[in-house]
Amino acid sequence: MALLGPLFRVLAALCVASPALAADLESVFEAHQATGTLVIERLGDGKRWVHDPARADKRHIPASTFKIANTMFALETGVVANVDEIIPWDGKVRRIKAWNRSLSLRDAIKVSAVPIYQHVARQIGLDQMAGLLAKLGYGNVQTGEQVDVFWLRGPLRVSANEQIAFLKRLNRRDLPFSRDAQEATIEIMEVMRGEDRVLRAKTGWEIASNPDIGWYVGWLESQDDVWVFALNIDVTDKAHRAARSDIVLAALGEVTGRALSDMRRPRP
């Protein structure tokens, strides 16, 4: 019985700590005047932090976050030999200047080049794409009839929690695809690096709904652990474009107890 006192004190401390973490995530959203959900899961022990659990189960069109899966599909099928193979520009001038040139997948994912990934999807073909999506078990597993727009306009939809499930398996190289395809996809997801940490992530911007939906998904890896995250927010202000990553970085600082201010984008 003498041990019960210390045990109760530990349990009480844990009960107090959890709401504080939730409140910290809420304050991050409030600071950016954003409405949405964020799920963070620490892989070492499965601990989760969730802002708006109900929304975390709601499916949205994945938009450019699907480029992660699309990269892996392109490599798995041999549509591209590797992430550095140059995919020719189709010659159509688009408003985003970085898209108006030939690109490798390594470069295309950095500038979120929609035309390059649409070309890849057309090369894969609708039937094969549907089979790959079913094998992956991603979201509602729907391609519809157009192979080059289903992740931009629908019918493909995925929730934040489903993004987490997908990313956890990718991080562990546990998807039903070749290890080489998974490794190469993970490699080109890198967006920031610090002395002992790497952030791998992808943005997304769904414009097929009202309001638009902004995504940021990926993970932070360190020598000690990995924190997988998936955020989606309503886009009602131009500031929300930057808020996608800003919210996640601030939340990761809260969860890990260490700000990400030391991290920098890798040199080309």
196-229: burial string, b at 16+ Cβ within 10 Å, e else: ebbbbbbbbbbeeeeebbbbbbbbbbeeeebbbb
112 is catalytic: no
| Residue showing tokens 């620490």 | 42
User: Residues 210, 215, 219, CA angle at the centre, nearest 5°?
Assistant: 165
In sequence order, which residues have a C-beta less than 8 Å from that of residue 204 and are 6 or more positions away?
A: 62, 63, 64, 65, 66, 213, 214, 215, 216, 217
Tell me if 240 sits within 8 A of 7, measured CB to CB: no
Long-range Cβ contact pairs of 235-240 (< 8 A, separation 24 or more): 235/205, 235/211, 236/35, 236/211, 237/33, 239/32, 239/33, 240/32, 240/34, 240/214
Judge contact between 267 and 260, C-beta under 8 A. no
Choose, from 64, 112, 159, 245, the residue flagged as catalytic.
64
Of 241, 212, 204, 226, the C-alpha closest to 69 is 204
Q: How is residue 122 annotated by DSSP?
A: H
| Residues that are catalytic | 64
